[in-house]
Amino acid sequence: MYANDTTLTTSAEDPCVLEHKMNYEMNLIQSWLSANELTLNVRKTKCMLIGSQFKLSQINSDFTFKLNNTPLQRVIKHKSLGVQIDESLNWRPHIHTILKKTSAGIAISRRVSHFTPLDTRVNMYNALVMPYFNYCGAIWGNINKGLADKLQKLQNRAARILTFSNYDVRSSVLLDELGWERLEYVRLKQLAVTMYKIHNNLSPSFLRRILTNTSNEHSHNLRNSELNYYVSRPRTESAKGSLHYRGSVLWNKTPSEIRKLPSLNVYKTSFHGKYFSNTP
C-alpha cells in the first residue's frame, strides 16, 4: 500500500487455486469497503498474472478476477511506483521507458554542451539521465545482456558528448576519465546495499524473512557477519534472476572484511562492483 494505491498479491501453482484465493480476498475488500461506506473504482482496478511464458499460455480463457461481481481488466504490464512490471518479469517495458527518458536527457545535454563547462555538463547528466539508470536497479538488475548493452551504449554515448570525444576513443577510457562506473557495476552495488540492509535489519521485515527462512534451515544466526546464506540451485531462469538468489550469491562472494563494516555509508564507499563482474 502506498498513498491511495493498493496492490494485492498472492501466488499458487494451480491457476484454479490462484483464482479462488484472489477472488476470496477481493470479496473481503469489498465487504470492508461497504462496511466503511467507501467505494472502489472498478474501472481503474487492474489485474496481472505473473509467471513463465509456458504457464501463462496454459491459463484458461475463463480465468478471471472479480470485484463486486465485475471482472477486472487483465493487463500484461503495469506501472508501480515508477517501475514497469511485466507479466514475465523480463523488464523489457521498463528498460524501453528508461531508454526513452535517458535519450531525451542526453539530447538536451548535447544541445547545450558547446555553451557550458564540463562540470555543468556532468551535473546535467546526473540530474537528467543517471536517476533513470539508478532507480530500483536492484529489482530489475537481472535483465538479459541485450537489454543491458542498450543501456550501456547510452551511457557511453553520454560520455562522448560530454567530453567531445570521437568513436575512436574507447568508452572505458572516457568512463574512467569522468569517474563513472559501468552501469552493470552500479546495479551490482545497489544489490549489495540491499543485502547489507537486509542482513543488518535495516530493510522491511518481508525482505528479511526471505533470508531468515533459508538460514534457519542451517541454524545460522542472521546477524552473523560470517554467514554464507544457503543458495538452492535454481530450476528456471526466472528463479536465477530472483532477488533472493542473486543477492545471496553476491553476499557469499563479498569479502568478510567488507561484510563486517559498521555502517551503511562506509559499506557503500568500500564495495567495488568491478570485483564481482561474474556474479549472477
The CA-atom distances, in angstroms, between 220 and each of 203, 211, 224, 254, 258 are 19, 10, 8, 18, 19
198/172 same-domain check: no
Which helix H or strand E contains 108, and what residues bound it? helix 92-112
166/234 same-domain check: no
192/217 same-domain check: yes
243/196 same-domain check: yes
Q: Is residue 176 domain-resident?
A: yes
What's the CA gap between 223 and 213, in Å, rounded? 13
pLDDT at position 214 is: 47
User: Could you say which of 157, 180, 203 is where a domain stops?
Assistant: 180
63/120 same-domain check: no
Q: Is residue 8 domain-resident?
A: no
How many domains would you assign to the chain?
3
Domain of residue 193 covers 187-276
pLDDT at position 220 is: 43
- Mean pLDDT per segment of 10 residues, for the chain of length 280 residues? 73 88 90 88 88 84 83 91 92 96 94 92 95 94 94 96 93 94 93 91 82 49 60 79 86 87 90 60
Confirm if 107 and 259 have CB atoms less than 8 A apart. Answer: no
99/71 same-domain check: no
- Identity at 22, one-letter amino acid code: M
User: Could you say which of 180, 199, 228 is where a domain stops?
Assistant: 180
217/152 same-domain check: no
Q: Is residue 100 domain-resident?
A: yes
226/203 same-domain check: yes
